[in-house]
Amino acid sequence: MNNLTALNTNNNSFAGPMHFLFATIPSLVVLDICHNEFSITVPHELFRATSLECLSFRNNNLHGLLDGSNIVELGNLGFLDLGSNWLRCEVPYSIG
């Protein structure tokens, strides 16, 4: 899996906790887990995936406080979609 560049689980009925071991895959550029039923907080491990350019968690049951300063660590990120969840976050000024 070291050469994996995209992981898309869009529009399934995946539910429960999700382990973010894939955050350690250095080649991962796209992570799309939209339209599932994950009910988790966003783990800090996710912000180690510094190669990510596209991150989409739209329409799950993600909850809790998202530390906006962690998002800044994803320096290659060009697309971020966290819509239709239960997250709380203050967006850092540097993101715009």
Q: Is position 48 within any domain?
A: yes
Domain that holds residue 27: 6-89
| pLDDT at residue number 92 | 64
**Residues 33-89: pLDDT tens digits?**
999 998 888 877 888 888 999 999 899 988 888 877 788 888 899 999 989 999 887
For residue 1, tell me if it sits in a domain.
Answer: no
Residue 96 lies in a domain: no
Instruction: Read off the pTM.
Output: 0.84
CATH number for the domain harbouring residue 25: 3.80.10.10
Count of structural domains within the chain: 1
Residue 79 phi/psi, 5° resolution? -140, 125
39: left (phi over 0), alpha (psi -120 to 50) or beta: beta
